Structures are given as structure tokens and as C-alpha cells.
A and B are shown apart, each in its own frame.
Chain A
Amino acid sequence: MTRRRFLQGALSASAFVRCVAKVPLFAKTAGNVAPGSVAPSIDATAFHPSIFLGIQADGTVLIVAHRTEMGNGVRTSLPRIVADELDADWSRVEVIQGDGDERYGSQDTDGSHSVREFFDTLRETGATARLMLVRAAAQQWGVPEAQCVADPAHVVSHKASNRTIGYGELAALAAKQPVPKKEELKLKSPSEWRYIGKPAPGYDVTDVCAGKPLFGMDVRVDGMLYAAIAHPPVLGGKVKSVDDSATLKFKGVKQTIPIDPFTPPHHFQPLGGVAVIADNTWSAFKGRDALKIEWDNGEHAVYNSPDYKKQLQETARQPGKVVHKIGDPDVEFSKGGKVIEAEYYAPHLAHASMEPPAAVADVQGEKVIVWSPTQNPQGVQEEVAKKLGLKKENVTCHVTFLGGGFGRKSKPDYAVEAAVLSKTTGKPVKVVWSREDDIKFDYFHSVAAMYIKAAVDDKGMPKAWLQRSVFPPISSTFDKDAVYGSDGEMSLGWNVIPFDVPNFRSENGKAVNHVRIGWLRSVANIYHAFAVQSFANELAYAANRDPYDYLLALIGSGHVIDVKQPADVAAKYPYDTTRLRHVAQLAAEKANWGKKKSGNGWGMGIAVHRSFLTYVASVVEVEVDNSGAVRIPNVYTAVDAGIVANPDMVISQFQGAAVFGTSIARTGEITATNGVIDQSNFHNYPVARMNDAPVYVDVQIVESQAPPAGVGEPGVPPFVPALCNAIYAATGKRVRELPLTRNGLF
């Protein structure tokens, strides 16, 4: 778990780096990727008190978005936090995409922590600049600083003498002010916020709709060659022999280049194989199809999903490693009262972001320039440098827009491929993954088997609860021998449950990995929430109670619970089940829960889950016909994410999460036969389309002054069990194994 920033890392002190030293920093807009084009740079501005912010003499404010735009809205939400405290006019702000640069602090855009981790830093950035501008104006006018205010936006005013002066005019003088200490800053109160908490359209919406070349897949560099790579069909496979004679006959194909297999653990290294270099993507693809390769498949050719599933389930039935314990559930179980148990299973998933992985690299001697859709630009620098034996500083990573990421694009293997091929050819090379590459050679979301058992009292409330989960861990990507879930994975909805149960034990069983495992939007929360929230629903029916009432009873009246968070996280973000209860109530109320009787193919289901520090409740309404077709007319979501930067973007994220969750629940399944992934494209790995996605997703955001949490991922985990619970309400059919297609439903 070295790469993944779980909550511990997410909340570590963020860097407010002032640009006092004259270090050049080349920041370019994500869209402005063409080499040779001059992108505005923070350092070239008249006033740049921080690497995140510069003000030009004409009043244009440049703000760096140092994290990755992949639909999460960070190019809008982060700069608006700076602009707010700066009292800048948003229409005069130009957003610049930060290259990979450790001076920004973490750029690893995963774990739903962009706003959470940088909220304070970015506010301080804006407030610092505002104070320096105010002081510059006071100095220029010879009036006390206290009489000058940044109001209206983008000017400093001296109301007594009716004078105003623009930020642009003040920039040069502001630059001469000493940088104020943190204690001198006056951050605005929430009631004074101009932008934070107010809905705003995406900064790039016009360019996106115009089809501007914003994405990694769109990067074109003079003299660039195109590469498609035949990857080993089984993880760790090697080329035995290759016949490229047919390939080389194709017009447009230039050469083939072997890529070394990785040394385990696979980490973010290229998979190896044979690259076909051509002067366009199509020729590279066609040339690749014509390669005749004999593979040595290696140890993972034993991987067969049906057998593996049995192993996982068998492991889940046996005692595992204890993750957390409260009281002693075994004592209750031995008393011989009523016991309810269930097993759940969720398969591997592929990310299938709309833009398959792609990257351009240009190796020039000791220096490398990479253009990549990446969630992890510093990771690109590191991995490319490591592979080519260069210093990290010698690798420039320009971050393009991402056509979706969902965690896949945190792993820079495809950028390393481009760098290796550019080095070999001496030309800039664009590596293009086909959809088949993307699905077959993903870092898959883990397959998981879970077992839960509860002893209930005469009212059907659990007195004891035991839960075991078994899955090949993400850590196997970094440590070949890792077989247990990391603390991080266990913290994702498994170590502790938010229910008032006096005796509880969570366990984790061993699982040996056979494919690359990686994090996918909300990670282990997906299968953990599926099991826990389905089981809670099963208990409700066993107790003959309304599932919503029962869920509230399980949560209890609300209090802070210990979920084994690091101390600093627990201090700032205590897990307060009052907030969980509240979102459940909001969602149920909006859904008119209980007004209509479930059954006869119609039903509602509810589930709650807190992940990435955000409390979410989902109520899903379904109609299931006799053929097993599931329609989702409505979804009601309630979200408590603390302070939200841009509510419209939050709504988008939760609307999207319901669709993403629909794909997981309905058809999401990756399987292997003899180590080879069976799925390859959207015909056998279908994702939700307009006609099978939820028709309407309602999103209510709880107004809160709690510190910002996360919004990109937390919508996914409760959606899946809420849907399955709705199906039970509608049909009496309990879904214990995902996807629905394994249950005669679709």
C-alpha cells in the first residue's frame, strides 16, 4: 500500500509553498499541450505570492489547478476557493494546469481528497494575496491598511475618499510587500463567501463541448509515431517467439520493438510484450493484430474464476485474521439463540474509463517530456525516471484532461511504455491502448467473498455480529507475497460497522493474487457496503420490520464511534452516527418511504454508508418485470460531505455515482480462464446506458459547516446494496452475488 494515499496520508500537512526562490515552474493549461505553444506561467506574472497564484499587470488572475480534472470538477472547485479568498472576479481568472511538481504537495488525485486536503492551503493562498494587495493600496494612497477593503471584487477600495484601484495596477507594488505570516491573515467567514458553496458551471464546459484537444488521447506532437502494444495475455507472461513478417508488410508500420517483462512485483511497470510502431493509430492496431506471438504464460495461467471463487468462499467460512473486536461475539453465538448468516460475493471489475489509457513521451537525451492523462503526475515522473535511469527532475509531466480515471489512471504503466518506446525510436511516441487492452490489462477492482453472521434477540436486533471478508489485496501490486487486506482496505467499510452491536468481530482471510489489482472508485467500500448493507436488510426482514425503521434502530440515536481512524483524522472528522442517521432520514423522506407498499415487481431499498469521510444514504426505486428486467425510475440520495466547494459539481458526482453503481450491480463482472481475462469490450463488459441507467437521481446536500470531506467516490458504495434491497422488496429475490445477471435479472 505504498502508493495509495489512504486517509492518514490524505490529511497530512499540506504544503503552502511560497515562490520566493527563483525556481522556474512551467505550468501549462491542460488543453494547451502542444509543444512550442506559450502557456502563461505563474512565475512570469507581476505578482505571484504562491506557486498556485499569479496576478498579471492587466488584472488577469492565474490560478493553478494542481490536481487532475477527470470529471471531478477540480479545475473549477479548487481555483474558486483561491478566487473567493482573493476576492477575485471569476470571469478574470485563468486556470492553469499544474505539471507534475512535488512543490504542490500531493497531486495524486484519488481518495476523494482534492478539496479536503487543499481547502485550507488554497484559502490561505487567496487571503495572502488579498492582504498584500490591500497593503499595497494603503501604501500607495498613504492611508491606514484598516481603511482599505477588497470590495467590490478585483479592486481595493478606500471608501472614505471614494477611491478604487484594480488588482492589475496593484500587482507590481503588491509583489514588493513582505509575505504576511499566517497569523496575520483574515480568512472570510462562510457568510462572506462569494464562490465557495455556490453552484458554478465547469470552467472548461465550452471547450469540452467544442471538442478542443484537451485529452491525453488528443495530444499530437511533431514527428510523433504511434504505438500499439501486444501485452502478454496472462500476468507475468513472456514472449517465447515472435513473427512480425506480416506486420511489417502493412503500409504505415515502421518497426516492432520488444518491451521487457517486469520484475515482480509488477507495481506500475509496463507489462512487457511487443510494440508495433506506425505512423498512425490504425496501422499500429492492424499491425499488432497480425503479429504471431508465442507466449510463455507463467505461473498465473492457473487462474480460473469459478475455482477461485470457491476458494474465496471456502476461506470466508473459516476463521480469519482478526481485524477488530468489540466484546465477544462467540459467547453470544454459543448460547444457542437465533442466528442469521449469509454469504456475499462480488467479482472483479474493470474501470473502463471512456478514454482508454494513452500517453505521449519525448525522450531527448537525459530529459523526458511526457503528456499524459494521469491522476498521478509525480508518479509518472518517478516511474519514467526509474525505468530510464534518470533523475526525477529530468522528467516533465504535462497533465492533460482525463477521459475518466476512476483510479485506473493513477497507475502510470502506459506512460512508462511511451517513454521506453521514445527512447528506443529516438522520436516522440504516442502509446494508444485499445478498449481491449484497457479491459484485459486493467488493474482490476478486487473480487471478494464475504461471510456475515449475527445472533439476534427476540426483537430481531443483533447482540453479536461476526463478519469476514476475503479478497486479493491491492498491496499485492507492490508486494508479490501480500495476501491480507491492508489496514487501508479494512478501513473501507469493514473493520467497524456503524451499528449499535455490543459484540462484534471483523476478520480478513488470505487470498493469493493472479491479476493486477488496483483501486477503483470507492475501492473496497463497494463489496463491503454491499455485504453489510444487504445483511442489515436481511435482518430487518427476519425481524419482520420495515427496513428503514430497522436501519435507524441499528444506527441507534447517534454518537461518535471509534472507526480506527488516525488520531488527527478522528479529531477533525469524528465518525458521528447522528450524521449517518440524518442522511438516512433525508433520503427516506424525499423518497416518500413507506407511502406505497412494496411487492408485485415494485419496490424501494435503502442503504447508508460513510466513506471518504462523507455520509451518504441512497434510496433506490425499482420496477422488475417477469423477464427479470430491472428499471430504476428514481434514486434519492442524501449527502453530508461537510462544506462543499461547488454544489452543482457535487450533484453531478452523485448522479454519476448512481450510474456507475448501476453498471457494477447490473452487469459488472470480469472473469479469467487460464489466467486470460474473458472480457474485452463493451459487448461483454457492458456498462449502463441511457435506457438502463436510473432515470432520475435526486441529490440532497446537507448544509454543514463541518470541514470538507470527499464527493467523488462516496456515492457508489450505498447505491449497490440499496438497489439489491429494492429488488428484494419488489420480488422477494435476495441478491447475494453480484452482478444481477448472475441472478436471472438484468
Chain B
Amino acid sequence: MVHLKVNGSVQAFDGDPDMPLLWYLRDILGFTGTKFGCGMALCGACTVLEDGKAIRSCSTQMKQLEGHEITTIEGISTHGPHAVQKAWAAVNVPQCGYCQTGQIMQAISLLSSKPHPTDADIDDEMSGNICRCGTYQRIRAAIKEAAKERARSQS
């Protein structure tokens, strides 16, 4: 039995301990905002936060999660869209949108450690997340927008 918290709720899991978190989230809890793209930690579509830091849920087994706290796209904000989601909408980032929840989770993780990321920081942090539609230019713009907005709201 694995005990963990997902989006603030306590959960107990007694299935296959090797099951990746991704499939637990999608098939068992129904949090389908976390996407399946490769299953090998190569694309970032499945990115969620573990104790506030981005991880690849496709390559994190349930048995590794005892006592940890997971946040998915469905849990990043309790009142209205998160600042990063707002920036994404303002820049009109998505094309097909499939990668974007993973991108947003990764960006949230980036901004929590580096509130004013440089282009190089953004490249470093975001290059694990593939967007096959090619929205990278707008992702970069939206991250900068979110950083600016955050600085503005805190000043």
C-alpha cells in the first residue's frame, strides 16, 4: 500500500507497485490532464510536480511515492487560472495543445526556482518537453510574460 497526496487529497494505492504514476493518475484517478507521449522520460508530456518540482510521471513508479505530494495540472490553482496559464492564454501558445499541460507544469517548476529566467535558463529547463506542433517561440514568450506578471503583482 502506497500513501500519497494528489492535488491535496490523501490517496492509498494497493495496485502494482511498478505502475507508473502517469497511469495511476490517468486511468485510476481520472486526472487525464497529464498526458502520455513516450513513456520513456523523453518528451515531458506527462510532467507533474512532486513536492513542487517537475518530474516525469511516466517514469516514476508508484512504489517511489510513499509520503510524497503530487500536483497535476488539475491541481495547480484553486481559484481561477494560474498565472502561468494566464500567460499561456495571453500569448495564445497552444496549437493542438496536447503537450501544453506538461509544458505549463515544467514552466511552473522553472519559475519557482528561477523567478527571472534567462533565455539559457528557459532552454535548459524546457528542452525536455517536446512540442511537435512547434510552439517553442510562444512558450518562451509566455514564460517571460508570466515572470513579468509575477514581478508586477509582487511589487
Contacts and interface: CB of A to CB of B under 8 A. Distances in A.
Given A212-B33, A435-B38, A690-B122, A354 B130 contact: yes
Interface in A398-414: 401-406
Given A201-B89, A655-B138, A71 B133 contact: yes
A683 interface: yes
A403 B43 contact: no
B21 to A, nearest CB: 10
B27 A281 contact: yes
Contact of B130 (A204, A212, A226, A689): A689
B137 A697 contact: yes
Contacts of A252: 15-16
Interface stretch (A213-221, A385-393, A533-541): A213-221
Nearest to A224: B27
Contact of A209 (B20, B36, B101): B101
Contact of B38 (A201, A211, A402, A682): A682
Interface size class of A (residues with CB under 8 A): 35 or more
Interface string A422-447: 00000000001011000000000000
Contacts of B40: 435, 681-683
Contact of A220 (B32, B88, B127, B135): B32
Contacts of B96: 69-71, 353-355, 401-405
Which of B36, B97, B99, B123 has its CB near the most chain A CB atoms (within 10 A)?
B97
Given A281-B26, A688-B134, A208 B127 contact: no
B72 interface: yes
Contacts of A578: none
B35 A355 contact: yes
Given A402-B96, A655-B138, A690 B43 contact: no
Interface in A346-372: 352-356
A695 interface: yes
A251 interface: yes
A354 B134 contact: no
A263 interface: no
Interface string A277-302: 00011110110000000000000000
A69 B89 CA distance: 17
A49 interface: no
B70 interface: no
B92 A354 contact: no
A353 B28 contact: no
B1 interface: no
Nearest to B20: A282
A601 interface: no
A206 interface: yes
B126 interface: yes
A210 to B, nearest CB: 7
A656 B135 contact: yes
Interface string B40-80: 10110100000000000000000000000000111000000
Contacts of B85: 206, 209-210
A349 to B, nearest CB: 12
Contacts of A217: 32, 35-36, 98
B36 A356 contact: yes
A204 B97 contact: yes
Interface string A324-364: 00000000000000000000000000001111100000000
A163 to B, nearest CB: 38
B97 A280 contact: no
B117 interface: no
A709 interface: no
Nearest to A432: B36
Contacts of B122: 690
Contacts of B45: 354
A350 B108 CA distance: 31
B92 A355 contact: no
Nearest to A73: B95
A353 B94 contact: no
A118 B98 CA distance: 26
Nearest to A199: B92
18 contacts: A205-B88, A208-B100, A209-B94, A209-B100, A210-B81, A213-B33, A251-B15, A280-B19, A282-B19, A282-B20, A286-B18, A354-B37, A354-B132, A355-B35, A403-B98, A681-B40, A691-B123, A691-B124
Given A209-B94, A210-B85, A648-B92, 5 more contacts: A71-B96, A217-B98, A402-B96, A404-B98, A682-B42
Listed from nearest, the 9 A-B pairs whose CB atoms lie closest are: A211-B33, A659-B134, A403-B98, A71-B95, A71-B96, A211-B73, A208-B97, A656-B134, A282-B23
